[in-house]
Amino acid sequence: MVKALIKSMRLRTLPLSLAGVVCGGLMAYPHTEAAHPVEALVFLFLTTIALQVLTNLSNELGDHISGVDGDGREGPNYSMADGGLTVKQMWKAINGTVVTCCLLGWLMIFFSFGSYLHSWEPTALIVLGAAAIWAATHYTLGKKPYGYIGLGDLFVFIFFGLVSVLGGYFVMAHTLEWNVLIPACAIGLLSVAVLNVNNIRDMASDLGKRKTIPLRIGPRTAKCYQTFLVLAGASLLYFTLPFKWWNTLLMAIMIAHVVVVWSNDGKKLDPALPILVITTFLFGLSYGLQF
């Protein structure tokens, strides 16, 4: 069961979820107001990882219940499709992960604000955390999962981009600056690009089961949309960073990703996903370290 659970956690997705908080947290770290900066940063990362795991487990259960993960799926099979986990076991794992998210989030807030837990800032973070848990568990679960009606892109932009970067900055600095919106929007666009290329790959198996953006606009327009997401997001980061060879390399990889997307369909798009995830994380890390 442990091996099956680890498989369902989809650990390869963690760099994307960390890209925003790494960027925002590191940007704020040099002028941090956190009571215990190192501990606050560590628990910021751990809380983010727990939320991503919760998202992945909930998505697998939702797709399994709805039948999206049935025969003909282009993407990888996970533990429930292979019979490694039952519905009951997955619900237990999800509930345990929710508790873990709450515990880690509380420790993050405690180490950030110390004895000032009565102020409005910790309350705002608690509300934001509750919203993140709701979003993580309702992408494919619930009576009306937003991922099945084409709203996944919007929620990914908000939570992987705006909330992740701005929230990470706020945890460390206890304030927000306008310039943080640039990487927040950029990482949001690149995160949506990861979802979009995944949905382009799965168009055939998703047909009649959910209404993703590629299914609504067609494959060619979806690839145009992918081109915009990747180049706009990468350009926002690249052209607001000091010139460094590694940033140029990352930009070149982003352009190569677009070429791969235009040259392939279906399962052949699989290699494009981890490359985009890792490059987005490295761009976020580079941005955070240079401010």
Q: Is the pLDDT of residue 116 over 80?
A: no
Task: Tell me the residue type at 221.
Answer: T
* pTM recorded for the entire structure: 0.94
Share of the chain above pLDDT 70, in %: 95
Highest mean pLDDT among 12-16, 29-33, 123-127, 184-188: 184-188
What string of H, E and C letters represents the secondary structure of 115-158? Answer: CCCCCHHHHHHHHHHHHHHHHHHCCCCCCCCHHHHCCHHHHHHH
Other Cβ atoms less than 10 A from the Cβ of 25: the count is 29
pLDDT tens-digit series, residues 12-71: 889 999 999 999 999 999 999 999 999 999 999 999 999 999 999 999 888 888 776 655
| Burial track 206-236 (b if 16+ CB lie within 10 A, e otherwise) | beebbebbbbeeeeeebbebbbebbbebbeb
10: left (phi over 0), alpha (psi -120 to 50) or beta: left
Alpha-carbon torsion angle 74, 62, 103, 6, nearest 10:
-40
Q: Is the pLDDT of residue 79 over 70?
A: no
The predicted structure's pLDDT at residue 100: 97
Confidence band for 142, pLDDT divided at 50, 70 and 90:
confident
Rounded to a whole number of angstroms, the CA Rg of the chain reads 19
Tell me if 218 sits within 8 A of 187, measured CB to CB: no
174 Cβ neighbours under 8 A, 6+ residues apart? 33, 34, 112, 113, 121
User: How large is the average pLDDT for residues 228-244?
Assistant: 95
Domain ranges of the chain: 2-289
- On average, the pLDDT of the chain sits at 91
Confidence band for 111, pLDDT divided at 50, 70 and 90:
very high
The predicted structure's pLDDT at residue 117: 73
User: How large is the average pLDDT for residues 161-174?
Assistant: 97
User: How large is the average pLDDT for residues 159-163?
Assistant: 97
